[in-house]
Amino acid sequence: MTTDFLSLDELKQKIHVLLQSLYPNSDPEALTEACLGAIGKRLNSDVVAPERLWSERDCLLITYGNSVRESGHKPLDTLQNFLHENLQGVFTAVHILPFFPHSSDDGFAVIDYTQVDPELGEWDDINALAQDFKLMADLVINHVSSQSLWFRNFQYGKEPGRDYFVEADPNYDLSMVVRPRTSPLLRKTDTADGVKHVWCTFSHDQVDVDFRNEKVLLEYLGIIGRYLDEGAQWIRLDAVAFLWKELGTSSIHLPQTHDVVKLIRLLTEYKNAHALLISETNVPNRENLTYFGNSNEAHIIYNFSLPPLVIHALLASDCTYLKSWMMSMPPSPVGCTYLNFTASHDGIGLRPAEGLLSDDELTQMLQTLESFGGKISWRTDADGNAKAYEANISLYDAFKGTYQGTDRWQVERLIASQAIMLAVEGIPAFYFHSLFATPNDYDKLETTGHNRSINRRNWSLSDLNARIQEAGGPGQRVFDELRRLIKIRGKQPAFHPNATQFTLHLRPEIFAFWRQSMRRTQSIFCIYNLSDQQQELNLADINLISTENWQDLISGQVISDLYGKMELAPYQCLWLTNYSDPSA
């Protein structure tokens, strides 16, 4: 539900209640007005029905602003030209990863939230992209760069920033704190008031801000307002699970964190009824699902368990774990949906596979990915033990082979993984490099020393064009087929992000599920051969309705015998539908 169903007084009352809980020592009425002032003037107050927030046409591209470069041109300008020439009408939305001045982590240590990195371009370039696509912008909400004005002011005891950061006594037992890194949690910092120890969940260049201070909340509301004013429509809450800190707790998923997300949703929808919040919480599946709230937190949550499970299924030629997880996933609540992805600028998260893959299966998968050139990044658990946090590898190279070793089916496995993602309930999101079958970037890995660099290649425009134009090459094959599949998907009502989904029970080598449009006019049976062997499919096992005509959307094959058999080639994908007029 959007705030347009609320009167302004009702909206203020909801904000008032949340602020009273978060900041009991503040004047909630004055703080409510301050929040409305910080988010800024309304841009759009149209009523938006939940089912119209997105459609089967929506597809997101995830990219850095400098993923493709051309000498003498601003990277954002080069990116827009490449997207316009090659991907206009394919993608409806683009996530430009942090495009602000930064000091590390390829943008996620933000120095200044209000500026575009001059090495990329300027706000006009961001505005131009927002004219062609729904634009997703990152709100790096948990931490700022140690080179930011706020942190420098903290060191000098000046405003703004003097009281914006979380301090802790290094002698206090902080072993309960959940973290995704192995570096020390506290950073020793010299200040005008002496030595202080500040909280750093990720790295010592990324210093956590203190949302227990209402001034910090107002700063970030102002930043959200600025992004919406500049054309962003989707706001990604980066690492939001760690937002609120309390000594003596895990400092992850605290009730106050959920209250802040609820507050941001109310104010974001007030500002622009078409704006969407996306939570980025790379955590076990059940924890991730909590960020839907009661349809009052994130509109969209990343489907973090999908990447490791899809990769495992294709490496093992076995959908058992993927199918079990899919059966356990609840339909998204009204006004919410999933963001499905199989690769991103980060590695393949392993925490979302906890409780879903056995330790032996996880170990075998990681050993296989390492044999394909991947790297493993680690975290420290509450007992001080090192645990695998993510696998760093390009998606293309993750599919060099199976548990049996390398083979000739690398391209087919990559395409199959993306065809699964395209059909699963939710909105599909493609990482830039998956479109071109980009291999591991060992040169960048060696230059930076950071494992994640292996999947963050910077293409020159000429080299990228050569890759997608090389007849019969992996880049050309993948690029052309994925664009075709995305366009097919966009015409199918049964692929609406909230359309019904049921998992089918076939044999382990064949993963299958059924989608039905919300008006029940279309069914699609999505069937995938996960093996390098031909598989026989008995059509009677999927129970196609005999009074309707069926065809495969991908190959165009018409199914003449509904009780016959089909031979599935290695890694072949079927989208069997009864819908004869996709333009209707």
> One-letter amino acid identity for 76?
L
User: How far is CA 230 from each of CA 73, 130, 224, 233, rounded to the nearest angstrom?
Assistant: 22, 8, 10, 9
| 47 Cβ contact partners less than 8 Å away, ≥ 6 residues apart | 2, 4, 5, 273
Per-residue confidence (pLDDT) for residue 441, from 0 to 100 = 98
3-class secondary structure, 281: coil
User: How far is CA 425 from each of CA 189, 332, 353, 514, 516, rounded to the nearest angstrom?
Assistant: 47, 9, 19, 10, 10
| 41 Cβ contact partners less than 8 Å away, ≥ 6 residues apart | none
**In the predicted structure, residue 407 carries a pLDDT above the cut 60:** yes
Tokens of 471: 């007849």
* Region 490-503 average pLDDT: 97
Upstream peptide bond of 582 is cis (omega within 30 degrees of 0): no
Per-residue confidence (pLDDT) for residue 584, from 0 to 100 = 37
Cα–Cα distance, 112 to 432 (Å, whole number):
25
Query: Cα–chain-centroid distance for residue 525?
Result: 26
* Region 281-292 average pLDDT: 95
Q: Which of 150, 80, 74 is nearest to 116 (CA)?
A: 74
Query: Are the C-beta atoms of residues 153 and 166 closer than 8 Å to each other?
Result: no
* Region 195-199 average pLDDT: 98
Per-residue confidence (pLDDT) for residue 582, from 0 to 100 = 47
The H or E element spanning position 61 is strand 60-63
**In the predicted structure, residue 555 carries a pLDDT above the cut 50:** yes
Query: Cα–chain-centroid distance for residue 370?
Result: 24
Q: Which segments of 131-242 are extended strands (E)?
A: 134-140, 143-145, 186-191, 194-199, 206-208, 232-238
Q: Which segments of 312-393 are extended strands (E)?
A: 337-340, 348-349, 375-380, 386-392
| 228 Cβ contact partners less than 8 Å away, ≥ 6 residues apart | 40, 43, 235, 268, 271, 272, 275
**In the predicted structure, residue 583 carries a pLDDT above the cut 50:** no
The one catalytic residue in 105, 125, 138, 238 is: 238
- Helix, strand, coil percentages, rounded to 5, for the chain: 35, 20, 40
Active site residue 238: yes
Q: How confident is the model at residue 5 (pLDDT cuts 50, 70, 90)?
A: low
Query: Are the C-beta atoms of residues 539 and 533 closer than 8 Å to each other?
Result: no
**In the predicted structure, residue 23 carries a pLDDT above the cut 60:** yes
Q: How confident is the model at residue 581 (pLDDT cuts 50, 70, 90)?
A: low
**In the predicted structure, residue 114 carries a pLDDT above the cut 90:** yes
Q: Which of 210, 378, 351 is nearest to 284 (CA)?
A: 351
Burial 138-156 (b: 16+ CB within 10 A, else e): bbbbbbbbbbbebbebbbe
User: At CA 62, angle to CA 453 and CA 319, rounded to 5?
Assistant: 85
Cα–Cα distance, 325 to 343 (Å, whole number):
19
pLDDT tens digit string along 311-370? 999 999 999 999 999 999 999 998 999 999 999 999 999 999 999 999 999 999 999 999
For residue 575, count other CB atoms closer than 10 A to its CB.
24
Give the single-character DSSP code of 386. E
Give the single-character DSSP code of 277. E
Sketch out the chain's domains with CATH numbers: 500-577 (2.60.40.1180)
Q: How confident is the model at residue 382 (pLDDT cuts 50, 70, 90)?
A: confident
**In the predicted structure, residue 1 carries a pLDDT above the cut 70:** no
Give the single-character DSSP code of 544. -
Per-residue confidence (pLDDT) for residue 381, from 0 to 100 = 80
Q: How confident is the model at residue 580 (pLDDT cuts 50, 70, 90)?
A: low
pLDDT tens digit string along 93-107? 999 999 999 999 999
* Region 273-297 average pLDDT: 96
* Region 59-74 average pLDDT: 97
